[in-house]
Each structure stands twice: as structure tokens, then as C-alpha cells.
């Protein structure tokens, strides 16, 4: 027998679970289908001595390397950047650093301000209340009063502490006259009723047994289930059924451990990232821009080596401090847009020995003394670039290759544009300048991080017109009656910062509108 649901959500990651929680209302049946399973972070690999081995294997960010039971292959032979996604309840927030910056107001108005890219069909002020709600749900630590960003509500927790290495870097920024600020982080600096506070142990990327570091499952799942939503983990959607005119999705076919099933649904919401969405929607969404305009945040890493230990392993590896001195456009630099400098703390012992961030440790007699001279003595800055939307960068489908479910293998097609290359070169010089000012005696540069495909944006971008975008500002696909996309695929610009707070705010806004349209509170989203 075919089940029924008012809203079916495909993907239980940052956007999908936030959407489910916000859309929930008495009388609405909401089902979330997630191909991956659940991850018990109370038993995270960070509790084991081989946690760094897990980073390279079972918790590797690249699904082609990890090859977990829910992973699908990604053809990245035509891409300068490798994919970095995680398929599980919680999505890629299972495998992240929890750095949590917001987009700036200017990021929504790039065409008006810089004559580049396009303006969003919504503004920072329209997203602000949803940003605030998401901060509360995720449990954000940070410091109010940043002069480089709009005034905003106080964070739920104070900022995470700096370590000896980042204190040095802060002093260097001060001497250079550059803006810096403690990172907003989805990591608790003080305990809540459900979650402990951060103990600065460091291995955030393999999960947090204290639940201090948020992930979407920790922050949203229980709250959404308390509102009545149903999660189907280990359930992969394999086909969409629709009416003869193609405008209305009537149901979903799925596969799980018990076989196959169907759900008839009133609304279908996709939150499976640009790669996952393309596997199912390429034949459904009839729009020339669908899949095109991929943006990925080209990233360089500049590492400084100090003469003495600065204990740079102490604390969350990616959520210490940022410099947004260069985020806004300046025509004098020779490129449009800007970049963020984000501090990365030092690596663990195994990754240090293997030459993480590019500082190679030779094998042989010099290995141990070189390791000793580097462990705890490095600090890195990422140069995170605001990528321009270029239509030749895209997600396509392989003509013949299929995954274990019979779905087409997605192709990641991306080359770094001229604007980003100029930005990277300028940013590497600034990061080098800052680390030298902090006292680094040696600088190593990774000019382009290949394993940086963790921010997949723009392949179903929103617009006020179907001539310029795939969805409207609520994620409703133009030309479809009941199909929406609510993840970072809908982004119009990439900005120079991590997308998770913004994609979750977008999901909360769209869910609120869909809930109100179903309960008769406000107008429909279409």
C-alpha cells in the first residue's frame, strides 16, 4: 500500500532537518528520507587513539575514498576540486569544523554594488530573524559588537578561547591594522541542559562525544521529532512520480533494508546537496540553468612554522578567529569580490607526520627530529575566496555509469576562474604577511586545496524571474507546483564565508512559509 505525507523531505542534513523542524505543525504529516544511517557521536572516533586514521578512512570527507554503505561515486575527473560531502543523518555537519559565519549584507547585492554576479531576490534583513533562530538551535558561541558586520542579537554562548598560536596571530593583525574577530562557532563554550561544553581537545572533524560541537542531528532532530516529524534513515529515494503534464510530483519511490516502497506526497522538498539533487532532479527540472553555475570556494592554505611550541593543537581546529579585512570588493586589487582569512590550528601527530597542510616531514633518520620541530609549532590561514558563478562550472550526469541503486553517477565539472586565481594570489601574499608578522620563521603554501569541495553552491539558484533562476526565493522550482529545493544549490553568490548558517536560515524561512500556507496562516510560497 502507498503511504501518504503532506511534505516529504529528501535529505536529513543541515537544511533538511532545519526545514522539517520549522515546517512541523499539528495535523501535518512530514516524512524525512535519508539514504545514510545515523552516527552515534557518543562513540565518535575522537575517543580513540587512531582518530586521525578515521579522518583518512571511514570519516574521510571524500565519498570516493570513504566508500561507505550510503555513499555514491562522484566523477571528479574534470574538476580541480574533489567532493567533500557526508551521507548520513546530519549530513556533512557530521564531518565539519563548525565554523559558523553569516553572509554580509553586501553578499546579497553583488550586482548592484560591484556590477558582478547577480542580486539575490531576498536581503540580509529578511533572513536575519531566521539566522537568529538557527543560532539558538545550533548553539553558537561568539562575541557581539563586530564592526565589520551588522549589529545582531547576542550569541547563546561567549566566544571560544584563543590559544597561544591564535593570540600571536591576533597581535600580528593588530600591528598590521587589519580587522580580526573571534569566530562564530556552532560549538558550546558553556554547557546547556542537553550538551556539554567544549574541552578544546581538537578532533572536531570526526564527531564530538560531548555534543559540544553541533551537527544538524544533535541540534534539530529530537526537536523536530517532538513536533511529530518522522525520520526514515537508510531510505534512498530512487524515483519521482509526476502527473502527465510534468508540473506536479505525485509521489516518491524509495529503497530501504526491507525492499521498495512508495509515498504519495503533497509537497516534495529536496535538501540533498547539488550532487545528490542532480541524480534525481535532472530529468524533472526542465530549466537551462539547473546544474549550472557551480560555486565551490577555491581555497589556499598558508602555514607558518614557529621556533617554539605554540600548542596550536589546543582547541577546535577551524573555529578560532577570522580576518575579514579583505571581504569587500576593491577594484584596486584587480579582481571583484573578496576573501576571508580563517585560522586553522595545528594538526594531530599522525597528520603532522604525514605532512598535513603541505609541510612535508621526510622519512628516514631526519623524520623524528623534523616531527618534533613541527608538532604544535604550526598555524595556518586559509584564503577562502568568493567564487563567481560561471555556467561552465556545473553538475552533470554520467551517460552510462550507475551507482548501486541504479541512479546515474554525478559528474563534478569545475575549473578555477581567472578572478579566483587573482584573488588566491593576492590572499596568499596577505596570509604570508600576517604569519610573518606573527613570528613564523618558515612559510609553506598550498596554492589550491584539492579536497575542498565541501561548499557546493549555485546549481539551482534563486531569482525573482524564471529567466534568471531555477527557484524563487522560497526554493520553489519555477514551472513546478509542489517541488522545492532548500539547500546551498539555491545560492546566487558564494560570498567569502562558509554557507551553513545561510542555507539553514533559507531553509527555516521557506519552511515557515510552507507551514503557514498549509495551516492557512499566510499566503502560499508559490
Average pLDDT of the segment spanning 91-109: 97
Reported as a pLDDT band with limits 50, 70 and 90, residue 523 is low
pLDDT at residue 410 is higher than 70: yes
pLDDT at 419: 98
Asked whether 453 and 84 are in contact (CB, 8 A), the reply is yes
pLDDT at residue 133 is higher than 60: yes
Domain residue ranges of the chain, discontinuous segments joined by +: 3-42+53-519
- Within 8 A by CB and 6+ apart from 40, the residues are none
Secondary structure (DSSP) of 431-458: HHHHHHHTT-SEEEEESS-TT-BT--B-
Nearest of 340, 496, 345, 331 to residue 430 by alpha carbon? 340
Average pLDDT of the segment spanning 97-125: 97
pLDDT at residue 283 is higher than 90: yes
What span, in angstroms and rounded, lies between the C-alpha atoms of 501 and 379? 26
What span, in angstroms and rounded, lies between the C-alpha atoms of 72 and 81? 17
Average pLDDT of the segment spanning 247-267: 96
What percent of the chain has a predicted confidence (pLDDT) above 90? 90
pLDDT at 128: 98
pLDDT at 311: 87
Pairing of β 408-414 and β 394-402? antiparallel
Average pLDDT of the segment spanning 267-291: 97
Average pLDDT of the segment spanning 103-131: 97
Average pLDDT of the segment spanning 422-426: 98
Per-residue pLDDT reduced to its tens digit, 175-230: 999 999 999 999 999 999 999 999 999 889 899 999 999 999 999 999 999 999 99
pLDDT at 525: 52
pTM listed for this prediction:
0.96
Q: Let me know how long the chain is.
A: 526
pLDDT at 426: 98
Edge-to-edge strand order for the sheet containing 339-344? 181-182, 321-323, 339-344, 378-385, 299-305, 442-446
pLDDT at residue 3 is higher than 90: yes
Per-residue pLDDT reduced to its tens digit, 344-379: 998 888 888 888 776 778 899 999 999 998 899 999
pLDDT at residue 339 is higher than 80: yes
pLDDT at 519: 86
Average pLDDT, the chain: 95
- DSSP state at residue 467: T
pLDDT at residue 296 is higher than 60: yes
Nearest of 110, 88, 312, 328 to residue 216 by alpha carbon? 88
Is the pLDDT higher at 372 or at 394?
A: 394
Per-residue pLDDT reduced to its tens digit, 149-166: 999 999 999 999 999 999
First to last CA, the chain: 31
- Within 8 A by CB and 6+ apart from 116, the residues are 110, 329, 336, 337, 388
Reported as a pLDDT band with limits 50, 70 and 90, residue 327 is very high
- The fold for domain 3-42+53-519 equals FAD/NAD(P)-binding domain (3.50.50)
What percent of the chain has a predicted confidence (pLDDT) above 70? 99
- Within 8 A by CB and 6+ apart from 382, the residues are 299, 300, 301, 302, 340, 341, 342, 344, 449
Per-residue pLDDT reduced to its tens digit, 25-77: 999 999 999 999 999 999 999 899 999 999 999 999 999 999 999 999 999 99
Is the pLDDT higher at 348 or at 17?
A: 17
Reported as a pLDDT band with limits 50, 70 and 90, residue 522 is low
Q: At what angle do helices 500-519 and 14-23 cross, to 10 degrees?
A: 30
pLDDT at 161: 94
pLDDT at 346: 87
Per-residue pLDDT reduced to its tens digit, 468-516: 999 999 999 999 999 999 999 999 999 999 999 999 999 999 999 999 9
CA distances from 114 to 338, 482, 525 (A): 11, 35, 30
SS (H, E, C) 134-170: HHHHHCCECCCCCCCCCCCCCCCECCCCCCHHHHHHH
Amino acid at each position: 500500500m502507498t503511504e501518504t505525507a503532506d511534505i516529504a523531505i529528501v535529505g536529513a542534513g543541515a537544511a533538511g532537518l532545519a526545514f522539517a523542524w520549522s515546517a512541523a505543525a499539528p495535523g501535518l504529516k512530514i516524512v524525512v528520507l535519508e539514504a545514510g544511517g545515523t552516527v552515534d557521536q557518543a562513540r565518535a572516533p575522537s575517543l580513540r587513539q587512531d582518530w586521525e586514521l578515521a579522518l583518512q578512512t571511514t570519516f574521510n570527507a571524500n565519498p570516493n575514498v570513504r566508500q561507505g554503505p550510503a555513499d555514491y561515486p562522484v566523477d571528479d575527473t574534470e574538476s580541480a576540486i574533489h567532493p567533500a560531502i557526508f551521507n548520513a543523518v546530519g549530513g556533512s555537519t557530521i564531518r565539519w569544523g563548525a565554523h559558523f559565519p553569516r553572509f554580509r549584507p553586501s553578499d546579497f547585492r553583488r550586482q548592484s554594488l560591484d556590477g558582478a554576479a547577480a542580486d539575490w531576490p531576498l536581503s540580509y534583513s529578511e533572513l536575519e530573524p531566521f539566522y537568529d533562530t538557527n543560532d539558538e538551535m545550533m548553539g553558537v558561541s561568539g562575541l557581539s559588537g563586530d564592526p565589520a558586520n551588522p549589529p545582531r542579537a547576542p550569541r547563546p554562548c561567549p566566544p571560544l578561547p584563543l590559544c597561544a598560536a591564535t593570540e600571536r596571530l591576533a597581535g600580528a593583525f593588530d600591528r598590521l591594522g587589519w580587522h580580526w574577530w573571534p569566530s562564530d562557532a556552532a560549538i558550546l563554550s558553556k554547557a546547556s541542559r542537553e550538551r556539554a561544553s567544549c574541552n578544546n581537545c581538537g578532533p572536531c572533524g570526526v564527531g564530538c562525544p560531548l555534543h559540544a560541537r553541533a551537527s544538524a542531528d544533535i541540534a534539530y532532530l529530537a526537536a523536530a521529532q517532538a513536533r511529530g516529524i518522522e525520520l526514515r534513515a537508510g531510505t534512498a529515494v530512487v524515483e519521482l512520480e509526476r502527473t502527465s503534464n510534468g508540473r506536479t510530483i505525485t509521489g516518491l519511490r524509495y529503497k530501504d533494508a526491507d525492499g521498495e516502497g512508495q509515498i504519495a506526497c503533497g509537497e516534495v522538498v529536496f535538501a540533498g546537496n547539488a550532487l545528490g539533487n542532480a541524480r534525481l532532479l535532472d530529468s524533472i527540472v526542465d530549466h537551462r540553468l539547473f546544474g549550472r553555475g557551480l560555486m565551490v570556494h577555491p581555497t589556499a592554505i598558508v602555514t607558518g612554522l614557529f621556533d617554539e611550541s605554540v600548542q596550536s593543537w589546543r582547541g577546535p581546529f577551524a573555529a578560532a578567529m577570522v580576518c575579514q579585512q579583505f571581504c569587500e570588493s576593491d577594484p584596486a586589487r584587480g579582481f571583484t569580490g573578496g576573501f576571508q582569512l580563517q585560522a586553522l590550528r595545528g594538526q594531530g601527530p599522525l597528520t603532522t607526520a604525514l605532512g598535513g597542510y603541505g609541510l612535508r616531514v621526510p622519512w628516514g633518520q631526519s623524520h623524528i627530529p623534523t616531527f618534533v620541530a613541527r608538532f604544535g609549532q604550526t598555524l595556518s590561514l586559509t584564503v577562502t575566496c568568493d567564487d563567481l558563478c560561471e555556467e561552465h562550472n556545473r553538475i552533470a550526469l554520467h551517460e552510462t555509469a550507475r551507482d548501486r541503486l541504479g541512479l546515474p553517477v554525478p559528474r563534478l565539472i569545475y575549473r578555477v576562474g581567472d578572478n579566483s586565481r587573482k584573488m588566491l594570489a593576492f590572499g596568499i601574499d596577505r596570509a604570508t604577511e600576517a604569519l610573518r608578522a606573527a613570528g613564523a620563521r618558515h612559510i609553506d603554501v598550498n596554492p589550491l586545496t584539492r579536497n575542498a569541495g565541501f561548499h557546493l553552491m549555485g546549481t539551482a539558484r534563486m531569482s525573482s524571474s524564471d529567466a534568471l533562476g531555477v527557484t524563487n526565493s522560497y526554493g520553489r522550482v519555477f514551472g513546478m507546483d509542489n517541488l522545492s529545493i532548500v539547500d546551498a544549490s539555491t545560492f546566487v553568490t558564494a560570498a567569502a564565508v562558509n554557507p551553513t548558517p545561510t542555507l539553514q536560515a533559507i531553509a527555516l524561512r521557506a519552511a515557515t512559509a510552507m507551514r503557514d500556507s498549509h495551516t492557512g496562516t499566510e499566503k502560499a510560497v508559490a
